[in-house]
Amino acid sequence: MRSFFINLSSRAALALFPLLLGAADVRAQVLPFKAQTVYNAYLVRNLHEVYDQRRAKLHQALASKESMQAYQAQVKKQYLAVLGQFPEKQPLNAKVTRHTKQNGFRIENVLYESRPNHHVTANLYVPQGKGPFPAVILMNGHEMTAKATESYQKTARLFAANGFVVLSVDPFSQGERVQLTDQTGKSLTRGSTTEHTLLNAGANLVGTSVATYMLWDNVRGLDYLESRPEVDKTSIGAIGNSGGGTQTAYLLAYDDRIKVAAPCSYFTQRDRYIELAGAQDGCQFLPGEGNLEIADFIIAAAPKPVLILAGENDFVDHRGTLQGFEELQEVYAALQQPKKVKLFVWPDGHGISQPKREAAVSWFRKWLYQDDKAVQEGNIGFLPEKELLATTTGQATTAFPKETTVQALNQQQFQRLAAQRQAFTAEKDLAALQAKVRDVIGLKLNTSPVFTQVSGESQGKGYRLEKRVLMRNGELPIPLLVYTPTGAAPQKIVIRLAEKGKATLAKNDSLIQKEIAAGNMLVLADVRGVGESLDDPKLNDPKYWSHEYRNAVLGLHLKRPLLAQRVQDISTLLDYLKAQPNWTNLPVLAWGDGLYGPVLTHAAFLDNRISQAKITDAIWSYETYVSKPIQQDMYSSVVQGILQFYDLPDLVNRSNNRIKHLSL
């Protein structure tokens, strides 16, 4: 992990960036430019590179039907690898708790268990007449009323009035399935998108995701539809709006039972949407999707009939919708089925409005009834939410004393993985274990030279202070404050890393004088996303409970979690320090707090150049995030699937006492 070092000190920079010892904020500033958005820009550049490669592969695949089918197979393989394993199917234990007769159909309030004691609440709409009928699973978007939302009710009712059995499902965290509640069933968070996101952190750590849990609920929903005698098992479709549109695409790509689909207010180009709007909530992505485009989930199932429903003025980027649809048209043409994909655009915003509902039902009639007649909604009506409740209390957590929540599912998985973690860390060869850990977190080894610029210097009481910027080609700069004793050669290098940025430490004159008096060289650093490159808080929606959510999710998407990138920065810092002849043999003490806890634990375990690491005010075990999901800033430390291999104490135990958690 060591690299060649080039010293490119720039004394000319001193005139531009004077050091004022009396002003701590100026004293801590090292970078000669504003850096609040550089980290996101760096990640977005990486994102575009990945998707440019994906577009090139797709373009090559369009050459023939056979090459296109090979591309589809590769997408499906990659998708299944990202999803991971699902549990064995258990009895659904389905119940109908109420029947409501309507004009031309009836509504049944339904419960089924997608996993033991994990209840899914739904409404089943059954047309009058002799079946079996084609069926539709309706996956509802981010409305707390879920299946009872007026537009979703009207969607289901319009399908039922036109000869379809419809299963309208409450996603968890919505409707009757709020997961994080008090004893009365009252939500402990502001709404579904917050709850999805908080639960997703624990799910990611144990190797799954909220989106995967939802997908399984919907797969079992298809099982329930197949169990009903009114349903034609060969004619099942899927539709959903917003977050339900996400699930429609995921289900279409996963389950061959879906014959027709219509995602609404969701379809666009992923890299364009992420660049414009940032990360979405925890159910809207699968960590490690990498170069899988939204269109790929539809391409994987092509040439099944798919209707894209879009609002011209939706916050879902419409230009991306048009560009993504052009890809679908090319794919369906290559598969010699160009009429099986269609785009319906209405000049409204986000949501499944009446024109979109009518277009969707007409599309399903065309392919499942061979009927080209346009459908009109008319006065379709809807019911009060209370008449659609499947539970006695309005919440599964209070209706079922033994209800297994998503939080509990994450905890159960953490416990099941204990033996697997023990076996992983039992590796006797420390170097081999270090290599495995690097693979787990996706750590890139430093291969390019380190170079540096001096942006300021001054003399303090007993020390010389340099402001240095460390750089590698293709990576983000690392700003340093380096305090070197002037009386004698330093005896030790002390690296201090503060979650709130090095500026908070630079204000502490007693800290500086203590290290200088002890004969130590003191280095204050900001790794990427901390201090000088802290992401603009206005660009991170507070409902996600993370000050750097957009960067954290983008890192997970690219299989480069923030933790690994920051470990890489510490390695760069060590490369610089150890390349200096007078400092090569000095022991290194690294001290960090907060989000630096997991980062420094990994850095010290992986790099023997750190003689000792001290950690304060940081999580000791990832189990904390699994068992207590209502916490701020979890995503700074999340690595997808890390608890399948080890937990933080496992690294500490193998560190030969080099890592100390002082807060324990």
Select from 375, 369, 371 the least CA-distant residue to 134: 369
101 in Cβ contact with 127 (< 8 Å): no
445 in Cβ contact with 433 (< 8 Å): no
6 by Cβ neighbours in 10 Å (0-12 / 13-18 / 19+) ranks as: exposed
Instruction: Determine which helix (DSSP H) or strand (DSSP E) holds 235, and give its type and residue range.
Output: strand 231-241
149 by Cβ neighbours in 10 Å (0-12 / 13-18 / 19+) ranks as: buried
Q: Which residues pair with 239 in a beta bridge?
A: 138, 262
Q: Which pLDDT belongs to residue 7? A: 37
- Tell me the CATH number for domain 5-30+423-661: 3.40.50.1820
353 in Cβ contact with 363 (< 8 Å): no
What backbone phi and psi angles, to 5 degrees, belong to 31?
Answer: -70, 135
Select from 251, 202, 187 the least CA-distant residue to 223: 251
Mean pLDDT per segment of 10 residues, for the chain of length 664 residues? 35 33 59 93 96 97 98 97 94 98 98 98 97 97 96 98 98 97 92 96 97 98 98 98 97 98 96 88 91 96 98 96 98 98 97 98 98 96 98 97 97 98 96 97 91 93 96 95 94 97 96 96 98 94 95 96 98 96 96 97 97 96 97 97 98 94 78
CA separation for the pair 621, 273 (Å, rounded): 34
Select from 387, 375, 393 the least CA-distant residue to 107: 387
Is residue 492 classed as helix, strand or coil in its secondary structure?
strand
Domain spanning 83-398: which superfamily? Alpha/Beta hydrolase fold, catalytic domain (3.40.50.1820)
539 in Cβ contact with 488 (< 8 Å): no
CA separation for the pair 155, 586 (Å, rounded): 70
Domain ranges of the chain: 5-30+423-661, 83-398
CA separation for the pair 423, 425 (Å, rounded): 6
Token duo for residue 375: 């459908």
Q: Which pLDDT belongs to residue 290? A: 87
Q: What is the DSSP string of 98-132?
A: EEEEETTEEEEEEEEEEETTEEEEEEEEEESSS--
- 83-398 shares the fold of 5-30+423-661: yes
Q: Which pLDDT belongs to residue 663? A: 74
Q: What is the DSSP string of 392-442?
A: SSS-HHHH-TT---HHHHHHHHHHHTHHHHHHHHT-S-HHHHHHHHHHHHT
Q: What is the DSSP string of 243-304?
A: HHHHHHHHHHHH-TTEEEEEEES--S-HHHHHHHH----TTS--TT-TT--HHHHHHTTTTS
**In the chain, what's the furthest Cα-to-Cα distance?**
96
481 in Cβ contact with 502 (< 8 Å): yes
Q: Which pLDDT belongs to residue 395? A: 97
Q: Which residue has the tokens 């490690």?
A: 288
CA separation for the pair 636, 499 (Å, rounded): 11
The torsion of the CA quartet 392, 393, 399, 404, rounded to 10 degrees, works out to 120
